[in-house]
Structure 1
Amino acid sequence: MKHYRIFIFALLLVSCQNVEKVKEPENLIPELKMAEVLTDLSILNSARNYNKRILEETGLKPDEYLYEKHGIDSLQLAQSNEYYAKNYDRLESIYKKVKVNLEKMQGDLEKMQEEETRIKDSIKLADSISGSKSDSLTVKPVLKIKRPIIDSLIIDSNH
């Protein structure tokens, strides 16, 4: 029983040690910008995982693109990431912003896809009415409506 008390006392002493706070780096990326960086990083990683070959064929280097777009370097990103990782509340706040950013982008993409589908459907309908295939890049007038020119309505004064 005496060993048990010593073990608990030693465990208590070790667990109550002075935990140092992580020092904020001089070039810390602000939270809002960090959320933007992590949003872009998430998209780039998804693109890399989706089809790496296409990404390579474009010549885009994801890391270089990310650093150039946000005006940061790899060391600054690593230090900021480490700092935020040890400050859970701030990291959680950043990731909530990332989630909102990605959800907004997804909504915008869905709207664009709906608009694209609507346009394609309109072109198909126009093609079916005119009986010809139109180039997808040009829109040809389908119906030419001849309207009589009416300058004014003449009302007979006898009526």
Structure 2
Amino acid sequence: MKYFYYIFFCLFLFSCTSNTIYKQPKNLIPKDSMVALLTDMYIASSANGKKDKLLKREKNYTILVYEKYKIDTTRFDISNKYYTSKIEEYTEILEKVSSNIDSLSNIIKKERSIYDSIHGGKKRIMNDSTIDPREMEYDDMPQMLMEKNSKLLKGRKLNIKN
């Protein structure tokens, strides 16, 4: 009976291995393309829940990101799942995404300061009860940021294969 417990214990230990390493899928999105894609996805997801100029309907910018890179949600999910199973690679990808977002943020800050200096530094004042849609600025910020991200990556060749 003692041997049975030892064998059972050993089998239990060997069965506790991690099965989170996925095999590389056939249509894996390359790292550099995944960085650009995730940058746009984070920008798009930050705008989810925002309403349009007339404060009527919300826009879903993630669909625009999928259309921009000509991929579908399943391909993104498979690639994302593969990269998340390899922590070191995914951390490297997310660090690059973070630096891209920081550089885009700096560009937007510079453009806002230039815009404010040209227009006399008028501050936007928003009243809780009434908002004039014509006075709102940067309502299409996610779309603009995705375009700026495309301009930053213009020199690079993205390898997204269908």
Could you say which structure has the larger radius of gyration? Answer: 1
Shift of 1:103: 0.2
Runs of 4+ in 1 over 3 A off after TM superposition: 5-11, 17-21, 55-61
Match of 2:84 in 1: 85
State the TM-score, normalized to the length of structure 2. Answer: 0.61
Relative to structure 2, which stretch is displaced further, 58-67 or 97-106? 58-67
In structure 2, how many angstroms separate the alpha carbons of the residues matched to 1:42 and 1:13? 39
Percent identity of equivalent pairs: 26
Shift of 1:110: 0.6
Superposition CA RMSD, Å? 3.0
- CA shift in 2, pair 1:37/1:13, >3 Å: same
The structure with higher relative contact order (CA 8 Å, sep 6+) is: 2
Question: What is the identity, as a one-letter code, of the residue corresponding to 2:78?
Answer: Q
Unaligned runs of 5+ in 2: 123-162
Shift of 1:58: 7.5
- CA shift in 2, pair 1:45/1:34, >3 Å: same
In structure 2, how many angstroms separate the alpha carbons of the residues matched to 1:114 and 1:62? 26
| Count of residues paired in the alignment | 118
**Larger helix fraction of residues:** 1
Residue 48 of structure 2 contacts residue 59 of structure 2 at CA under 8 Å; is this kept in 1?
Answer: no
In structure 1, how many angstroms separate the alpha carbons of the residues matched to 2:14 and 2:107? 54
* Structure 2 SS opposite 1:121: coil
